[in-house]
């Protein structure tokens, strides 16, 4: 039997051309200075062994794998099925880890779960499947010294959501408008460059480690807007996808592919892509079979159809269920899923037509189809009815399709929340969405919807914020969004502040010079409330979309007002906001179940932060806060800029304590954030002052 112990050569993250993010070598110090027994076999167990071996080589620990046994391990990472563990404490835990003793709900630890305990000086991680061991090991890393201090009562850990996925909007070929990465603010793609696969497995492997360490287990490797070159990933370029899958597999990450609905025509030479045409069905079945021959654990397809110009079933007089079920049928024999996006609306709307409401579109299209989707269709729904704004109500689609597997989609890349030039920690926003109860206080949460019945939900998805930037994300602090996404997908009830602490502990404290306390305080002071700060100097009271058309960065209050995109604020001399009531407006409020249909319908009961999303009100309308709408606009815009100024000052004070390259990048971004926040403040305040003629109660300068 092999004993692959310490000292295996392998490039450590942190010594590479890219930043180590939340896995600097020092994050493994505690684990790496112990005696560690790894018990079990399999690809992901080898990954655990490799991680442990590298850490122990660096920090003086020892590693055992397989007999001949030594029994003085302080950390035991074992697959239960691998048999008795030669450590009395660990063996007792193994025998005790039965449903009767420790479990609730089925007893088994599942494909990804683990049990963690510390008894009599031994820390034990047990799992039923290799992925559980990997996640358990990262849990030990997160705990640091605490994993080896006091006793830890046995606790089972299982992900609340089975599917925790990142969608990359990466193009293979540089697109003339959207570039290498659509809405990408972190440099180029990790997978593709100038029309070809990058083939940089070392960086990809490090990426996979980061994802596994926060709990992500699925990825889609190309843009949902599938152009000509990218369409070929399904066929001629499938080998490139297989290579990526090969690198990500040891970290438990399954690859998915965005495909074009027109593939049978553009790739297969058929005259039609009609979902009910036999030739089309046969083509998808054959293409999918070939995919699984190359990538046996392939996750499935992601489809944007009949949306923003993408092809779809409407061209053949079919609906979205017909379209999705076509691909589902091809994937079913192989265990794959089709992720069908619900982001469908009329992007050629007439702005003069007040009856058409983009917010209604997804529900209008999809709610009537509930119950018609095959079991392996997941409907992927943006968290809000419009498009990843800094403030929106939760999408009513998520409460309208009990017979459909639903996934919730959020956007880490920050298209509308500062594009990784602004600090905007989105953990609190996503947490608010996941905890929202569409049916009122006694009903399920959005996280429950994403979990689905018997774990058959669609899970949580984020549009990735990662690229080939040395910091992975364009703003080094935006790494926290990726980390928080993974952790919330694992456990939506985690407190976003505590998640931030984990990220700080892993990322910053191990590499901080001197006393770490000021660095921790500074990070919290800058990031905790940064989403609300962003909201303050940009979008008042849920109105949204006052951004520059096209690139969506910076203010342009009327930029979209007279366009076909369906995103309007309707400001006039008397008031602002969109009337979405059933009494006098578009009737969107009716798409919610009670109590929210009633709460949103009522101008009096509607929460302040969403008032202008649901109602058109006079500028002097008094909010629950006691302020008028116009005064709220002025106050929040002045306050937002002051908060950014304070962030910038705080960051200056930790120069010297953090890596100079990181410090410089963040400082440069904060300068830009301040400049941009001033621009937002001045344009929004001036615009509404000129429209309303109402002066600021505090006489501050408005242009
Ligand atoms: C990938 C918004 C973005 C588009 C994006 C689209 C989508 O409209 O601006 O770049 O396209 O959402 O989610 O499909």
DSSP letters of 585-628?
A: S--GGGGSPTTHHHHHH-TTTS-GGGHHHH--EETTPBPTTSSB
Q: Specify the pLDDT at position 116.
A: 97
Residues 6 or more apart whose CB falls under 8 angstroms from that of 503 comprise: 22, 479, 480, 483, 484
Please give the pLDDT value at position 101.
44
Cα dihedral 634/589/424/552 (nearest 10)? -80
Spatial distance between the Cα atoms of 536 and 14, rounded to a whole number of angstroms: 37
Q: Whose CA is nearest to atom 8 of ligand 1?
A: 387
3-class SS of residue 166:
strand
Q: Residues 497-524: what's their mean pLDDT?
A: 94
pLDDT-derived band at 69, boundaries 50, 70, 90: confident
* pLDDT for residue 15: 54
pLDDT of residue 7: 27
Tell which atom from ligand 1 comes closest to the C-alpha of 552. Answer: 9
Cis amide bond preceding 68, omega within 30:
yes
169 Cβ inside 6 Å of ligand 1:
yes
Reported confidence tier of residue 17, pLDDT bands at 50, 70, 90: confident
For residues 273 and 270, what is the distance between their CA atoms, to the nearest angstrom? 7
Q: How far is CA 335 from CA 42, 297, 300, 301, 375, in A?
A: 21, 9, 8, 12, 11
Identify the pLDDT of residue 72: 86
List the one residue out of 407, 513, 403 whose CA is nearest residue 463.
407
The tens digit of pLDDT for each residue in 393-407 reads 999 999 999 999 999
User: How confident is the model over 406-464, as pLDDT tens digits?
Assistant: 999 999 999 999 999 999 999 999 999 999 999 999 999 999 999 998 778 999 999 99
Say whether pLDDT at 103 is over 60.
no
Tell me how far CA of residue 190 lies from CA of 108, 222, 237, 634, in angstroms: 36, 11, 17, 42
Question: What spacing in Å lies between the alpha carbon of 204 and ligand 1's midpoint?
Answer: 25
User: What does the pLDDT read at residue 70?
Assistant: 72
Q: Specify the ligand 1 atom closest to the Cα of 307.
A: 14
- For the stretch 472-484, pLDDT in tens is 999 999 999 999 9
Higher pLDDT, 354 or 247: 247
**Measured in angstroms, how far is the CA atom of residue 25 from the centroid of ligand 1?**
37
| CB 277, CB 315: distance < 8 Å | no
Residue 343 Cβ contacting ligand 1 at under 6 Å: yes
In the chain the first and final C-alpha atoms are separated, in Å, by 78
Residue 13 has pLDDT above 50, yes or no: no
CATH for 534-578+616-692?
Answer: 3.90.1330.10
Cα torsion through 508, 389, 649, 654, rounded to 10:
0
Give 347's pLDDT tier (boundaries 50, 70, 90). Answer: very high
**pLDDT for the residue numbered 476:** 98
State percent of the chain over pLDDT 70.
96
Give dist(CA 84, CA 702) in Å, integer.
Answer: 74
Fold that domain 25-157 belongs to in CATH = Chitobiase; domain 2 (3.30.379)
Mean pLDDT of the residues in the chain: 94
Q: What distance in Å separates the CA atoms of residue 432 and residue 492, rounded to the nearest whole number?
A: 10
Q: Are 193 and 491 in contact (CB under 8 A)?
A: no
- What is the CA(169)–ligand 1 centre distance, in A? 9
Residue 593 token pair: 């179940």
Asked if residue 105 has pLDDT above 50, the reply is no
Q: Do the domains 25-157 and 534-578+616-692 sit in the same CATH topology, yes or no?
A: no
Position 316 scores a pLDDT of 98
Could you give the percent of the chain with pLDDT greater than 90?
91
- Each residue of 356-373: pLDDT tens digit? 999 999 999 999 999 999
- pTM score > 0.85 for this model? yes
pLDDT over 70 at 104, yes or no: no
**CB of 167 shorter than 6 A to ligand 1:** no
6: pLDDT strictly greater than 50 = no
Query: What are the residue boundaries of the structural domains of the chain, listed by start?
Result: 25-157, 164-494, 534-578+616-692
pLDDT of residue 455: 72
Q: Tens digit of pLDDT for each residue in 274-291? A: 999 999 999 999 999 999
Testing ligand 1's pocket by substitution, the residue of 168, 169, 358, 567 carrying the most ligand atoms inside 8 A of its CB is: 169
* Residue 357 near residue 566, CB atoms below 8 Å: yes
Span 131-179, pLDDT tens digits: 999 999 999 999 999 999 999 999 999 999 999 999 999 999 999 999 9
Per-residue tokens: 285: 């079945």
Task: Extract the tokens encoding 526.
Answer: 């800058």
What is the CA 258 to chain-centroid distance, rounded? Answer: 17
3-state secondary structure of 198: coil
Which mutation among 171, 222, 225 tests ligand 1's pocket best, with the greatest number of atoms within 8 A of CB? Answer: 225
Q: Is 68 left (phi over 0), alpha (psi -120 to 50) or beta?
A: beta
Catalytic residues: 308, 387, 415
Residues 527-555, mean pLDDT to the nearest whole number: 96
CA distances, 4 to each of 63, 307, 464 (Å): 8, 52, 36
For the stretch 174-215, pLDDT in tens is 999 999 999 999 999 999 999 999 999 999 999 999 999 999
Largest CA distance in the chain: 84
What is the rounded average pLDDT of the residues 285-305? Answer: 98
Q: At residue 640, does pLDDT exceed 80? A: yes
pLDDT for residue 107: 58
Under 8 Å between Cβ of 307 and 344: yes
Antiparallel, parallel or unpaired: β 62-65 and 405-411: unpaired
Band the pLDDT of 97: cuts 50, 70, 90.
confident
Pocket of ligand 1 contains residue 358 by CB under 6 Å: no
Which whole number is the average pLDDT over 108-121? 94
| Distance in Å, CA 112 to ligand 1 centroid | 32
Domain 164-494: give its CATH code. 3.20.20.80
pLDDT band at 579 (very low <50, low <70, confident <90, very high): very high
Atom of ligand 1 nearest to the CA of 183: 10
Give residue 313's region: left, alpha or beta (phi > 0; psi -120 to 50): alpha
Rg (CA), the chain: 26
């Amino acid at each position: 039997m092999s004993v692959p112990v310490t000292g295996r050569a392998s490039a450590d993250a942190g010594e590479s051309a890219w930043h180590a993010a939340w896995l600097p070598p020092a994050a493994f110090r505690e684990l790496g200075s112990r005696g560690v027994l790894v018990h079990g076999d399999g690809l992901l167990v080898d990954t655990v062994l490799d991680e442990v071996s590298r850490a122990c080589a660096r920090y003086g620990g020892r590693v055992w794998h397989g007999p001949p046994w030594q029994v003085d391990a302080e950390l035991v990472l074992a697959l239960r099925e691998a048999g008795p563990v030669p450590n009395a404490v660990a063996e007792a835990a193994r025998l005790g880890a039965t449903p009767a003793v420790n479990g609730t709900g089925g007893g088994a630890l599942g494909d990804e779960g683990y049990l963690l305990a510390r008894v009599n000086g031994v820390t034990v991680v047990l799992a039923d499947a290799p992925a559980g061991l990997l996640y358990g090991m990262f849990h030990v890393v997160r705990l640091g010294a605490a994993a080896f201090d006091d006793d830890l009562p046995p606790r089972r850990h299982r992900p609340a959501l089975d599917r925790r996925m990142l969608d990359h909007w990466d193009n293979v070929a540089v697109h003339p408008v959207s570039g290498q990465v659509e809405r990408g603010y972190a440099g180029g793609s990790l997978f593709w460059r100038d029309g070809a696969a990058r083939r940089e497995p070392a960086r990809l492997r490090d990426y996979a480690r980061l994802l596994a360490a926060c709990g992500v287990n699925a990825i889609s490797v190309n843009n949902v807007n599938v152009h000509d070159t990218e369409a070929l990933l399904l066929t001629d370029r499938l080998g490139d996808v297989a290579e990526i899958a090969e690198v990500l597999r040891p970290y438990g990450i399954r690859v998915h592919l965005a495909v074009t609905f027109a593939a049978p025509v553009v790739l297969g030479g058929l005259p039609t892509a009609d979902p009910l045409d036999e030739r089309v069905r046969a083509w998808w079945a054959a293409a999918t079979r070939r995919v699984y021959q190359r990538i046996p654990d392939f996750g499935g397809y992601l489809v944007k159809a009949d949306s923003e110009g993408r092809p779809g079933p409407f061209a053949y007089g079919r609906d979205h269920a017909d379209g999705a079920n076509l691909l589902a049928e091809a994937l079913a024999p192989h265990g794959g899923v089709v992720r069908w996006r619900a982001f469908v609306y009329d992007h050629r709307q007439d702005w003069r037509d007040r009856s058409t409401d983009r917010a209604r579109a997804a529900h209008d299209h999809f709610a009537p189809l509930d119950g018609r989707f095959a079991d392996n269709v997941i409907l992927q729904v943006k968290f809000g009815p419009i498009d990843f704004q800094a403030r929106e109500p939760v999408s009513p689609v998520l409460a309208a399709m009990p017979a459909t597997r639903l996934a919730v989609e959020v956007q880490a890349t920050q298209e509308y929340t500062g594009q990784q030039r602004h600090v905007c920690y989105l953990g609190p926003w996503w947490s608010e969405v996941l905890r929202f109860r569409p049916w009122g206080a006694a009903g399920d949460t959005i996280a429950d919807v994403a979990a689905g019945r018997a774990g058959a939900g669609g899970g949580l998805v984020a549009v990735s914020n990662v690229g080939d930037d040395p910091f992975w994300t364009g703003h080094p602090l935006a790494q926290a969004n990726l980390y928080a996404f993974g952790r919330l997908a694992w456990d939506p009830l985690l407190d976003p502040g505590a998640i931030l602490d984990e990220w700080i502990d892993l990322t910053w404290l191990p590499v901080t010079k001197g006393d770490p306390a000021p660095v921790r305080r500074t990070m919290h002071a800058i990031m905790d409330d940064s989403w609300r700060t962003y909201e303050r100097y940009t979008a008042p009271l849920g109105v949204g979309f006052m951004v520059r058309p096209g690139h969506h960065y910076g203010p342009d209050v009327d930029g979209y007002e007279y366009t076909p995109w369906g995103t309007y604020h309707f400001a006039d001399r008397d008031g602002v906001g969109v009337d979405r009531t059933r009494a006098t407006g578009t009737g969107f409020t009716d798409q919610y179940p009670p109590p929210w249909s009633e709460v949103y319908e009522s101008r009096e009961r509607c929460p302040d932060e969403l008032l202008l999303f649901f109602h058109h009100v006079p500028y002097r309308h008094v909010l629950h806060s006691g302020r008028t709408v116009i005064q709220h606009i002025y106050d929040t815009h002045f306050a937002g800029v002051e908060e950014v100024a304070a962030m910038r000052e705080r960051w200056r004070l930790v120069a010297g304590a953090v890596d100079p390259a990181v410090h410089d990048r963040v400082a440069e971004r904060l300068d830009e954030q301040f400049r941009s926040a001033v621009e937002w403040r001045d344009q929004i305040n001036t615009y509404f002052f000129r429209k309303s003629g109402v002066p600021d109660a505090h006489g501050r300068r408005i242009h």
